[in-house]
Amino acid sequence: MENRIYNFSAGPAVLPEEVLLEAQKDLFALPGVGMSILEISHRSKTYDAIHQEAKEGLKKLLDIPDDYAILFLQGGASLQFSMVPLNLMPPKNKADYIIHGSWGKKALKEAKRVGTINIAATTEADKFKRVPTQDELKLDPDTSYVHFTSNETIEGVQWHKEPEVGNIPLVCDASSDMLHKKIDVKKYGLIYAGAQKNMGPSGVVLVIIRKDLLERSQDSLHTMLNYKIHAENDSLYNTPNTFGIYIIKLVTKWLLGLGGLDEMYKINKKKAQLLYDCIDQSGGFYKGHAEKDSRSLMNVTFNLATEELEKKLIDEATKAGFSGLKGHRSVGGLRASIYNAFPLKGVEALVDFMRDFQKRNG
């Protein structure tokens, strides 16, 4: 197939075309190496350069201070749901969790296996249509850390400013909006993010952890679950996902070439505004799930009047070259994931399609 369709999948998600083409060009043999990135040893000088360039790209994009470690791990965010409490909850064995969607609930479930959890706030009674307000947070001043999910892909709800938690380490699952804008890393104790939304392919999870928190990782932990071990070995205790990290290196280069995360944020806001305007101006034909001040720039969730009409739109959209618009199986509806690499022209094409669909079915 010569022509690429528009991929609205929530993840694994669209990658920059420039990155795909560069990876394709060098896939058979890296220049000057004579081997594919899929074949080289993770202990080789060639791979070490790739590994360090990926880290340096992230440091430049996010201004990551030297007192933070950058780790490339495996198991996705789902394993981090366990690793975070196993490493950071001792010795107090309690933590605060802020819940505003399905992934936060999954993180909460695993944390409860480790220690005592205080639900600092939840918007489940509001069907996860918004993030909690600062006034709603009931934080335990003696807690080990405060955990939140920056962007909930299923419900399409996003924090646009991180919660204020004082001197308590703030832990963030940023899997679905990492690198969509500049954040102040110094406000966080730990950030983790699966790569398959904005950074690369599935199979890599990025962890950025303040180095003093590594001292909480106890020697009694299983080796592969210990942040301190991974930091001491520069994520090379075992064979990492070398290809995934190579793609992360290319993605950071692409973002820096665009002008960095401030420029990426401008583009993301423009894309999301186009789609939300289409929904808001439809006279109720399209109904957004999230409240306006909590709307995600990455995952636009909405419904039509009936499931039959939603199915019709999805079927017609698929035939027209728009893939991945079906909402998550747990909530239904529709979802357009417009991550960093999703092109502006693709959002414009979807808006044209949606307006035409409304004229024919409204």
Q: How many helices (H) and strands (E) does the chain have?
A: 9, 14
Length of the chain (residues)? 362
Q: Which of the residues 55, 173, 249, 254 is marked catalytic?
A: 173
Tokens of 65: 């201070």
Q: Are 342 and 12 in contact (CB under 8 A)?
A: no
Query: Do strands 94-99 and 146-149 pair parallel, antiparallel, or not at all (unpaired)?
Result: parallel
The owner of tokens 């440091």 is 59
The owner of tokens 């942040």 is 227
Q: Are 249 and 52 in contact (CB under 8 A)?
A: no
- Is 159 annotated in the active site? no
Q: How many CA atoms lie within 13 A of 167 on its CB side?
A: 2
- At 12 the three-state DSSP class reads coil
- At 130 the three-state DSSP class reads coil
Residues 6 or more apart in contact with residue 357 via CB below 8 angstroms: 313, 316
- Is 25 annotated in the active site? no
Nearest to 80 by CA among 202, 227, 210: 227
Nearest to 245 by CA among 193, 182, 185, 199: 199
Q: Which of the residues 197, 253, 271, 326 is marked catalytic?
A: 197
Q: Which of the residues 55, 96, 103, 228 is marked catalytic?
A: 103
Tokens of 263: 């420029």
Q: What amino acid positions are annotated as catalytic residues?
A: 103, 173, 197
